[in-house]
Each structure stands twice: as structure tokens, then as C-alpha cells.
Amino acid sequence: MSGLIVDSPEAKQLFTRASGLDGTGGDERLKRIMQRITTDLCRTVEEFDVTPTEFWTAVGYLTRLGQANEAGLLVAGAGVEHFLDLLVDEKERQAGLAGGTPRTIEGPLWLADAPLSKGEARLDQDPEQGTVLFMEGQVCDADGTPIPGAIVDVWHANTKGGYSHFDPSQSPYNLRRRIETDDQGRYRFRSILPAGYGCPPDGPTQELLNHLGRHGQRPAHVHFFVEAPGHRKLTTQINIAGDKFLHDDFAFATRDGLIPEVVRHDDPAEITQRGLNEPFVTIKFDFAMNREAENLPEAVVVREHAKAA
């Protein structure tokens, strides 16, 4: 016996009954998970001598977190979303998968049904003083064979770090597009360089981060879902090299292989040729897709998303 109340017969019976394990209805696996979570929570309360006032402060915090729609943001900041990636990585390694583009977290700001076009798209629709970005690449399978008809779903922040829909100052689907790869598996788009994201400064996520002595900043990045029949859906991001927070991301999403070179073009002839009057940047990035196989964890993650109005 540990001598802890949480390990006493009375407490054990309490957690068993509270999770429904003494009855027959409901879901057996969920019951066991609830029992574990309840026990672990109460163990933490007991071992850290958490006072009732502290405890109810936490309950109030979680209530406000949900009301502010920041649960997904805290999960990212707490490192748990990245941990889920580590778990899937390991299962894929054990199944013999290797060589695909690294995955990294989705984050809480994707929106379904972005405008779809073939081969290319322009993402920026709202007028902004930003550096023009041309990004292009190829979607290939693990052997390097191009995949025509793959869907590249891309979304990123504007020059203030805000995402359309969540930032009502932007027009619907600004900086969000789906691009179907052409017959050579290629995609390309024009956009503007995003700024890094910062957690809402007055929100509950930043409030907790402050108490941890942490910032709530992400380096500038561009998100992707890449989907192709017979292949595992890829959820990833590229980071903009040179960002101050490149290796200090509050959401721990930066990974080797996801930091392409950002090439700056200031040759006047090139600028004119692109129909621009200021220097621009280009990024080349290819996606390597893994083939779907038996006994792998699900690659299509079902989670609640914001609904476009």
C-alpha cells in the first residue's frame, strides 16, 4: 500500500463505480479509460496537495477554455498534439513505412471546403502589403512516381498572423485553397508570406502559458493536407526559414525536412516578368506520400472543425 487515500479500497471502489465499471451498460474501453483518468487526476491532487480553491480554479479555467473555443489551441501548446504525431510515427516505423514527407500537427484552424482548382491557385484575395510568395512542387509516391489528381489542401495566416474565418476581418476562405495536382503530379500557387501566429493575448491558453513562463508564438508556417487514392493522408506544414521562432514553436511542430529554402528574387527583369513591382520569394517543396497498408493507425483523423458560415 502506498498509504495514499487514492489507493484506499474506498477510493478505488469510488472510481470503479464512477466510471461505470460495476455495471454492464456502456462502453468497456471508455470505462477503463475514465477510471484511469479519474484515478490519475485524484492522485495528482493528493500528491501535490492541491487545495480545493486551486482545484475549482482549474475547473473554472477549463470552462472558460471551452467557452473561448481554445481547447484545440491548448492541446497544441501543451505538446499533446505533437505527442500524437510521435505515436503514429512509431507505429508507421514498426510497420516498415519510411521515407515519406514528415507529418506534423494539423492545429485548430483548418476549414473544410476551400475553393478547389486544377494545377494552380491564387490564395490571397484580400489586399495586403505582403511579400509575394510563389510555391510549387510535385506530389509523388514513395518510389518517386508522380501522383496526378492528388488534392493539396493549403491554408495559412495573413501578414498579421490571422486565419480567415477565425479572423473576421478577412474575407471567407482568404489564404485557403484546394489544388488538384496536374497530369505530372504538380501543384503551384501564388500567395503572400504569412507572419507567425500568436495565441490570443487575453485568452485562456495564453493565460496558462504565462503561468508556465512560456510564450504562445508560432513561427511563420503553411499548412497542408495532401490526399491521393491508395495513399495515406498527409498532414503537415512547412516553416518559413529565418523566423525568430523557427525552433521555438509553442506548438512544437517544426521538424527536419519541413524547412524549405525561401529564395528571394530581386532582379528587376524577373520582377517585371512576374508582373510585379517588388521583390518576391519562391519555395519549392515536393510531397512524398506513403502507400496505405494494413495494420496502420488511421491517417484520416476525425475531429471537430469550425463550420464556414
Q: What's the min distance (Å) between Cβ of 138 and ligand MBD? A: 24
Q: What's the min distance (Å) between Cβ of 206 and ligand MBD? A: 11
Q: Which parts of this chain interact with Fe ion (CB under 5 A)?
A: 107
Nearer to ligand MBD, 141 or 249 (CB): 249
The neighbour count for residue 172, using CB atoms within 10 Å, is 14
Within positions 253 to 272, which residues make up the interface with ligand MBD, using CB under 6 A? 253
Q: In what order do the strands lie in the sheet with 116-118?
A: 116-118, 176-180, 151-156, 221-227, 234-239
Binding-site partner at residue 154 among ligand MBD, Fe ion, none, CB < 5 to 8 Å by type: none
CA distances (Å), 213 to each of 65, 81, 248, in order? 19, 20, 14
Nearer to Fe ion, 107 or 260 (CB): 107
Number of DSSP helices (H) and strands (E) in the chain, helices first: 7, 11
Nearer to Fe ion, 6 or 157 (CB): 157
Options 73, 195, 262, 288; binder of ligand MBD; rule CB under 6 A:
73
CA distances (Å), 115 to each of 112, 284, 298, in order? 9, 22, 26
Q: What's the min distance (Å) between Cβ of 72 and ligand MBD? A: 8
Options 121, 209, 220, 251; binder of ligand MBD; rule CB under 6 A:
251
Within positions 20 to 39, which residues make up the interface with ligand MBD, using CB under 6 A? none
Within positions 160 to 219, which residues make up the interface with ligand MBD, using CB under 6 A? 197, 218
What is the rounded distance in angstroms from the CA atom of residue 22 to the CA atom of residue 12?
12
Supply the DSSP symbol for 248. -
Q: Are 175 and 157 in contact (CB under 8 A)?
A: yes
Nearer to Fe ion, 140 or 192 (CB): 192
What is the rounded distance in angstroms from the CA atom of residue 254 to the CA atom of residue 246?
7
Nearer to Fe ion, 123 or 147 (CB): 123
Q: What's the min distance (Å) between Cβ of 224 and ligand MBD? A: 11
Nearer to ligand MBD, 186 or 218 (CB): 218
Interhelix angle 52-67/204-211, nearest 10 degrees: 140
- E strands, the chain, are 116-118, 120-122, 132-141, 151-156, 176-180, 186-192, 221-227, 234-239, 263-265, 280-284, 287-289
Binding-site partner at residue 105 among ligand MBD, Fe ion, none, CB < 5 to 8 Å by type: ligand MBD
The neighbour count for residue 298, using CB atoms within 10 Å, is 9
Nearer to ligand MBD, 167 or 180 (CB): 167
Strands 176-180 and 116-118: parallel
Q: Are 262 and 194 in contact (CB under 8 A)?
A: no
Binding-site partner at residue 177 among ligand MBD, Fe ion, none, CB < 5 to 8 Å by type: none
Within positions 75 to 114, which residues make up the interface with ligand MBD, using CB under 6 A? 76, 105, 107-109
Binding-site partner at residue 76 among Fe ion, ligand MBD, none, CB < 5 to 8 Å by type: ligand MBD
Nearest residue to ligand MBD, scored by beta-carbon proximity: 107
Catalog residues that contact ligand MBD under the rule CB under 6 A.
Answer: 73, 76, 105, 107-109, 197, 218, 251, 253
